[in-house]
Amino acid sequence: MSGFASGNFETSFSLNCSDVLQQVKSRLPLYHLTEEDIVSKPQFCKLLQSLSQHVDETGLSHVLTERHREVEKEYKQQKQVWLRSEILYRTIKEMLKDFYVGENSGKFSEEDKKFYEVLEQSMIIMECTRCLDPSETTAQEKPLLLNLETQDLLVFRPKQQDFQAMKERLVKEIEIRLMKKCFSVLCYLHPEYMGDSDVLKCAKSSKLPEMLRELKEKVLRENCKLKEQTATLERLSFMYSMVLLNCLSVLHKLARDCRLKVQSEVDQIKTQYLESKCSATFLKLRKEELEILLNTYTPEKIQVHRKIRDTLNEMVAKEEQEKATVSKNVSAYMVLGKEFEELVNEYKHLRLEIENKKWALQEFMKSYE
């Protein structure tokens, strides 16, 4: 019977799975469920469906959600109070700083100097009082600073009349400064408001919180996008670096395994190519040489050279024959010895004297003519 009831429940649950899925997704968006999960695990989905009646989309119960909202609201109020006091404190510090810088410039009157002196004195007393305030701990737990108490500082307070006058003017000065800051922020966000009047700027400044809130949200969205883009860029850079490293390893392997194996064949082919190129160059040079010789030595010139060569050969033959005859005669005379050599020298001497006398006779005859 229970099995039949269970079967009916599962059947009806599977029929309404789309409604259950929409209900769970609307109330518990953190759970990423599909219709297959609902059909395969109906009891778990039933648990989520009943659980969604008691918790919100973040997983907190309604009681905790309400307490969280109250605490967040109180936190915002305290933060707003602290920001307001901090803005006033920093504005007063800025006023005092401007007074210190331009004190000797002559643009401050005696009334202004009196105002800033009372303001400075009040600020010093306030800061010292804050340091001596035993509100956080008891006097036994926190020893007094320099044995001073708050009552010791009240002696240095300015006069009530001066303090009241300073307070009334301080409110106006702070309002003016804050208004100028609001106008500067407004004109920074919208430069076209620069030429508007102060009344119009004051009216437009009422929308300044919304503008700053929108600007802050935009900056946050841009920062989120920038972070996502940075993460994507880092991821892609890592992936591309890994791909480049793999490509470099493949190229290194190809260079090592393929190029070095065929390097010897490439060198052999290159050597054959260079030998063929050198042979072709030598043949080209020989061809140019033959063309120069062919252009230089025509058939007519060759015939003349042959005749000259034959004439020279005949003259050489005659000279060789005369040389042989003279050599034969010299050899015959050499047999005679020293007496023949002396006769030859005497003959040469006589021939020389005869030549000289002939020259002298010719010169003598010329002088008589």
User: Which residue did the predictor score with more confidence, 8 or 218?
Assistant: 218
What is the Cα–Cα distance from 229 to 236, expressed in whole angstroms?
10
In 3D space, the residue among 234, 96, 297 whose CA is nearest the CA of residue 177 turns out to be 96
**Alpha-carbon dihedral 7, 13, 14, 17, rounded to 10 degrees:** -170
Query: 12 and 108: one domain?
Result: no
Query: 157 and 94: one domain?
Result: yes
Q: Is residue 282 part of a domain?
A: no
pLDDT bin (cut points 50, 70, 90) of residue 11 is very low
- Does residue 216 register a pLDDT over 50? yes
Q: Which of 26, 59, 92 is the last residue of a domain?
A: 59
What is the Cα–Cα distance from 247 to 146, expressed in whole angstroms?
75
Phi and psi, residue 343, nearest 5°: -65, -40
Domain span holding position 361: 336-369
Q: For all residues of the chain together, what is the average pLDDT? A: 77
Q: Is residue 69 part of a domain?
A: no
Q: Is residue 264 part of a domain?
A: no
In the chain, the percentage of residues whose pLDDT exceeds 90 is: 11
Predicted pLDDT at 265:
78
Are 92 and 119 in contact by the 8 Å Cβ rule? The answer is yes
Query: 111 and 208: one domain?
Result: yes
User: 50-64, 295-309, 313-327: which range is least confident on average?
Assistant: 50-64
Query: 115 and 161: one domain?
Result: yes
Predicted pLDDT at 126:
79
Query: 35 and 148: one domain?
Result: no
Predicted pLDDT at 199:
78
Dihedral sign from CA coordinates of 233, 238, 240, 241: positive
Tokens of 356: 């000289």
β partners of residue 61: 55
Work out how many domains the chain is built from and give that number.
Answer: 3
Q: Is residue 358 part of a domain?
A: yes
Q: Taking CA 211 as the corner, what is the angle to CA 206 and CA 213, rounded to the nearest 5 degrees? A: 115
322-334 residue pLDDT tens: 888 888 877 776 6
| Residue labelled with tokens 């036994």 | 140
253-311 residue pLDDT tens: 877 777 666 777 778 888 899 999 999 999 999 999 988 888 887 888 888 888 998 99
Tokens of 114: 């009196």
User: 4-13, 182-191, 247-256, 276-285: which range is least confident on average?
Assistant: 4-13
- Classify burial at 46, counting beta carbons within 10 Å of its beta carbon; exposed 0-12, middle 13-18, buried 19 or more: middle
Query: 145 and 191: one domain?
Result: yes
Q: Is residue 26 part of a domain?
A: yes
DSSP states of 295-316: HHS-HHHHHHHHHHHHHHHHHH
Query: 171 and 107: one domain?
Result: yes
User: Which residue did the predictor score with more confidence, 46 or 292?
Assistant: 292
Query: 54 and 119: one domain?
Result: no
Q: Please tell me what DSSP assigns to residue 331.
A: H
What is the Cα–Cα distance from 51 to 47, expressed in whole angstroms?
6
User: Which residue did the predictor score with more confidence, 237 or 6?
Assistant: 237
Query: 47 and 93: one domain?
Result: no
Query: 31 and 108: one domain?
Result: no
- Does residue 85 register a pLDDT over 60? yes
Q: Is residue 208 part of a domain?
A: yes
Q: Is residue 75 part of a domain?
A: no
Average pLDDT on 92-119 reads 80
Collapsing DSSP to helix, strand or coil, 108 comes out as coil
Query: 31 and 132: one domain?
Result: no
